[in-house]
Amino acid sequence: MRKYETIFILHPSLDEEAVNAAVDKFKGVIENAGGVVENVDLWGKRKLAYEIEKVNEGYYTLVNFSAEPQLPKELDRLFRINDSVIRHIIVKDEK
């Protein structure tokens, strides 16, 4: 298994309950595919570096996990089809 790191930004119109549900959903995807979630860091609502579709803020979340190489592709697909995710990135941790 390889180590990965993902940061995703959720839409600011979501309430705390919806943000936690979305984070739990993505954690569940990782765990159900045989991955191991090592760390979840909720950064909270922050200002974006630039406006995205007339949105200036978002809920930032950092997740460190270990998984097989095909899992990031599936996670990327799920991030893309979820309307509450504004931006995301998944990188392989080289440490």
Domain of 6, CATH number, reads: 3.30.70.60
Structural domain range at position 14 = 2-92
Per-residue pLDDT band for 70 (boundaries 50, 70, 90) equals very high
Q: Of 78, 40, 86, 91, give the one whose Cα is nearest residue 62.
A: 40
Q: Of 4, 59, 11, give the one whose Cα is nearest residue 33.
A: 4
Order of strands across the sheet that contains 2-10: 36-52, 55-67, 2-10, 85-92
Span 21-34, pLDDT tens digits: 999 999 999 999 88
Burial of 13 (0-12, 13-18, 19+ CB in 10 A): exposed
Number of domains the chain contains = 1
Which pLDDT belongs to residue 53? Answer: 87
